[in-house]
């Protein structure tokens, strides 16, 4: 990544957020227009399928059955979190690349789901991981995947930071 003046922190990583957002929205558009609700196209028998599901709630359809207030509640949370992530990215130092990537992934995913929630009133999910007919993980999308990967990288960065800050014991 080219040197960016320090006053911009690691905002150059916003290109990754934009890429996550664009790929997420394109994939949701494709599946929303090419599958019917709960239709399942098996990709890997007994393990992985494409399906179309709408989630009016949060992760694992949390609060999906509510009267509609949750749409704006989760949208407000996503806007606040996104603002915090942009400020955090701006304040990062040049050597905090792993953290910048993590924040950019979470930001791109959060904005992808935010746009669905505001424009459509629900989040479009299409990835279904399952084991035979005995177990199914709730359907999810690429924005969710980016948020999850970003959270994992945040955890790794936290452990990396702690290890490098500890004084040597001899």
Active site residues: 125, 144
b/e 6-42 (16+ beta carbons within 10 angstroms → b): eeebbbbbbebbeebbeebbebbeebeeebeeeeeee
Q: What single DSSP character describes residue 95?
A: T
Where are any strands of DSSP class E within the chain? Answer: 40-44, 48-55, 123-131, 135-136
Look up residue 133 and give its two tokens.
């007919």
Query: Alpha-carbon distance 17 to 169, whole Å?
Result: 40
State the maximum Cα–Cα separation within the chain, in Å, rounded to a whole number: 64
- Tell which residue, 150, 141, 75, 74, has the closest CA to residue 106: 150
């Amino acid at each position: 990544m080219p040197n960016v003046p320090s006053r911009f922190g690691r905002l150059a990583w916003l290109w990754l957020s934009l890429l996550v957002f664009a790929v997420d929205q394109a994939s949701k558009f494709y599946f929303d227009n090419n599958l019917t609700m709960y239709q399942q196209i098996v990709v890997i028998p007994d393990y992985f399928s494409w399906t179309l599901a709408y989630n009016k709630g949060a992760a694992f359809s949390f609060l999906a059955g509510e009267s509609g207030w949750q749409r704006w509640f989760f949208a407000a949370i996503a806007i606040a979190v996104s603002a915090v992530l942009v400020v955090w990215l701006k304040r990062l130092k040049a050597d905090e690349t792993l953290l910048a990537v993590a924040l950019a992934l979470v930001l791109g995913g959060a904005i992808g789901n935010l746009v669905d929630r505001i424009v459509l009133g629900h989040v479009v999910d299409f990835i279904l991981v399952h084991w035979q007919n005995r177990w199914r993980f709730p359907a999810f999308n690429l924005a969710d995947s980016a948020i999850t990967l970003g959270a994992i990288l945040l955890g790794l960065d936290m452990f990396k930071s702690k290890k490098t800050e500890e004084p040597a014991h001899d």
